[in-house]
């Protein structure tokens, strides 16, 4: 039984038939995963099933016709950097075979439209499940992006698993200073091989957008259940809001930047950064001891635990306008005494914190908790890691957290109004 074989799995009364998927690592010898004809993956515990090979698989390379790669004059050079996730696996698994599809020939074979809009180069630098992404990975991805630009690429596309795509896009937005060209992150929600899968369409749309004059880190994902267009979200303003739907990624507290219709036209729908500031470089000074805490009624112990562990910064995801239960108040005050920096965001996701309206908020603000306006909690966590990599003085940290670096915050000068917001 080899990866790529069509196998039949019997479990109790039920029989399943599908292509044997690659094992992810040595821990997987207890499980097998097959891809059903309908495109879905099913996992089985080996000891609970009986397995039979129906048809041997063919290696991917054998089924792929040759493609001539011509460097077409007039088309921009675009680099695609692979980090793992469903975009890649969609491509890998088309025949059930493992194949990192990052050579130009492979990419063009799988998504021919790419050849009409760009000269593509590809490089897989990581292959991890995105929930396992770490700060060191972000530094590597950032350095690879800089390399591609230094080699003359007009734009860089980064493929990424969707679980933490919005964390990575926010962190890169802070780390990549002086962008002269677009960095477009792209994922796919469905590893299914259905004609309606979002992988190819998202990839073409992201390459198309990477040719524009947008000097930001952006996220390109499906906008609806139809194949009509993708949306381009600002890297600091986007969140995954559905576990499985293809339109799971949504801009929060601001409109998306653009609509992209695959390889076809691009419609800008809000303002974006198109002026470069200074030279391109990677600013990856990061403090790793930063926590993200979602509060809940009666929560206690958790702030104290992080303070005791030597954490330097804590992003609170409070309720409503930025509140925590008073059970946490003393723990927060002790943290502040021990020079831990606290920032407040809201678990409502949409809208703006306002710590002036109610007593609880005022007390926390008075104690030194920084109200982070309309910043997403995930973005605030990334920013705190980055800001604490640069500053150790509280007032400098506060100023830096509240200064707009990459479109992540829109401060209000009015202390007396809620933001109606947009969602």
Query: Which of the residues 299 through 328 are near its own copies (CB under 8 A)?
Result: 299, 301-302, 305-306, 309, 317-327
- The reply to whether 358 sits near its own copies by the rule CB under 8 A is yes
Strand duo 217-222 + 230-234: pairing: antiparallel
- Helix (H) or strand (E) holding 303, with range, is helix 302-308
Interface with its own copies, residue 7, by CB under 8 A: no
Print the binding letters for residues 89-118 with its own copies: x by CB under 8 A, - otherwise: ------------------------------
Question: How many angstroms separate the CA atoms of 83 and 412, rounded?
Answer: 37
Catalytic residues, which ones? Answer: 86, 162-163, 240
**Per-residue mark of binding to its own copies, 22-61 (x: CB under 8 A):** --xx-xx-xx----x---xxxx-x----------------
Q: Minimum distance between the CB of residue 394 and its own copies, rounded to whole angstroms? A: 19
Report 238-257 residues binding its own copies (CB under 8 A): 240-245, 248
Check: CB of residue 123 under 8 Å from CB of residue 80.
Answer: yes
| Bridge partners for 234 per DSSP | 218
Q: Which of 174, 209, 381, 386 binds its own copies (CB under 8 A)?
A: 381
In angstroms, what is the minimal distance from the CB of 168 to its own copies? 8
Residues 6 or more apart whose Cβ sits within 8 Å of residue 14: none
DSSP run (H or E) holding 305:
helix 302-308
CB 281 within 8 A of CB 313: no
Q: Where are the alpha helices (DSSP H) in 95-240?
A: 104-110, 114-117, 135-150, 165-175, 199-209
Q: What are phi and psi of 382, to 5 degrees?
A: -60, -45
CB of 20 to its own copies, least distance (A): 15
Q: How far is the CB of 343 from its own copies (least distance, A)?
A: 14
CA angle at 53 for the pair 50 and 56, rounded to the nearest 5°: 160
> How many residues sit in the footprint of its own copies (CB under 8 A)?
84
Q: Which is nearer to its own copies, 122 or 322 (CB)?
A: 322
- Residue 371 pairs in a beta bridge with 344
Pairwise CA distance, residues 21 & 16, whole Å = 14
| Segment lying near its own copies (by CB under 8 A), choices 1-9, 155-163, 201-209, 256-264 | 155-163
Return the residue of 112, 178, 411, 421 that touches its own copies, per CB under 8 A: 421
Taking residues 132 to 151 in sequence order and writing x for each that binds its own copies by CB under 8 A, - otherwise, the string is: xxxx----------------
Q: Which of 216, 210, 194 has its CA nearest to residue 263?
A: 210
The three-point CA angle 413-238-280 to 5° equals: 85
User: 54 in helix, strand or coil?
Assistant: strand
Strand order in the sheet with 77-82: 119-124, 77-82, 155-159, 183-186, 217-222, 230-234, 258-260, 266-268
Residue 107 or 286: the one with the smaller Cβ distance to its own copies is 286
Out of 195, 279, 359, 395, name the contact with its own copies by CB under 8 A.
359
Among 188, 344, 353, 387, which residue sits at the site for its own copies (rule: CB under 8 A)? 353
Residue span binding its own copies (CB under 8 A) among the ranges 103-111, 229-237, 256-264, 286-294: 286-294
Q: Which of 229, 259, 352, 383 binds its own copies (CB under 8 A)?
A: 352
CA distance 382 to 176: 13
**Nearest-approach distance from CB 334 to its own copies, in angstroms:** 15
Q: Return the number of the residue (73 or 414) whose C-beta is nearest its own copies.
A: 414
- Report the site for its own copies in 165-184 (rule: CB under 8 A): 167
Q: Pick the closest to residue 325 from 366, 291, 364, 376 (CA basis).
A: 364
Minimal distance in Å, beta carbon 117 to its own copies?
30
Q: Which stretch binds its own copies (CB under 8 A): 142-150, 174-182, 259-267, 410-418?
A: 410-418
Binding status of residue 354 toward its own copies by CB under 8 A = yes
């Amino acid at each position: 039984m080899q990866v790529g074989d069509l196998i039949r799995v019997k479990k109790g009364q039920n029989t399943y038939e599908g292509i044997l998927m690659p094992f992810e690592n040595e821990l997987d010898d207890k499980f097998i995963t097959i891809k059903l004809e309908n495109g879905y993956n099913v996992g089985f515990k080996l000891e609970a099933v009986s397995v039979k090979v129906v048809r041997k698989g063919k290696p991917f390379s054998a089924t792929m016709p040759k493609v001539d790669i011509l460097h077409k004059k007039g088309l921009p050079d675009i680099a695609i950097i692979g980090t793992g996730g469903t975009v890649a696996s969609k491509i890998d698994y088309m025949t059930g075979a493992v194949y990192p599809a990052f050579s130009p020939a492979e990419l063009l074979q799988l998504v021919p439209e790419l050849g009409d809009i760009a000269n593509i180069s590809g490089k897989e630098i990581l292959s991890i499940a995105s929930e396992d992404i770490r700060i060191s990975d972000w530094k590597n991805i950032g350095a690879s992006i800089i390399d591609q630009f230094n080699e003359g690429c007009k734009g860089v596309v980064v493929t990424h698993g969707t679980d933490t795509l919005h964390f990575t896009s926010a962190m890169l937005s802070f780390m990549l200073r002086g962008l002269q060209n677009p960095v477009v992150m792209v994922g796919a929600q469905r590893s299914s091989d259905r004609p309606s899968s979002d992988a190819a369409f998202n990839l073409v749309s992201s390459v198309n957008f990477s040719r524009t004059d947008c000097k930001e880190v952006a996220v390109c994902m499906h906008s609806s259940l139809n194949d009509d267009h993708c949306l381009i979200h600002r890297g600091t303003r986007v969140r995954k809001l559905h576990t499985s739907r293809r339109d799971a990624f949504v801009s929060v507290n601001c409109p998306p930047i653009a609509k992209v219709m695959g390889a076809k036209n691009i419609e800008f729908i809000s303002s974006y950064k198109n002026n470069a500031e200074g030279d391109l470089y990677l600013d990856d000074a990061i403090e790793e001891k930063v926590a993200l805490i979602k509060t809940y009624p009666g929560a206690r112990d958790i702030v104290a635990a992080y303070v005791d562990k030597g954490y330097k910064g804590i992003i609170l995801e409070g309720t409503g306008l930025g509140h925590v239960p008073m059970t946490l108040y003393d723990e927060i005050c002790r943290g502040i005494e021990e020079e831990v920096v606290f920032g407040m965001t809201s678990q409502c996701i949409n809208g703006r914190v306002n710590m002036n309206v109610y007593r609880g908020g005022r007390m926390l603000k008075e104690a030194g908790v920084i109200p982070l306006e309309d910043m997403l909690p995930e973005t605030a966590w990334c920013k705190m890691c980055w800001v604490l990599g640069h500053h150790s003085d509280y007032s400098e940290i506060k100023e830096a957290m509240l200064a707009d670096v990459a479109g992540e915050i829109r401060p209000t000068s009015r202390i007396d109004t809620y933001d109606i917001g947009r969602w």
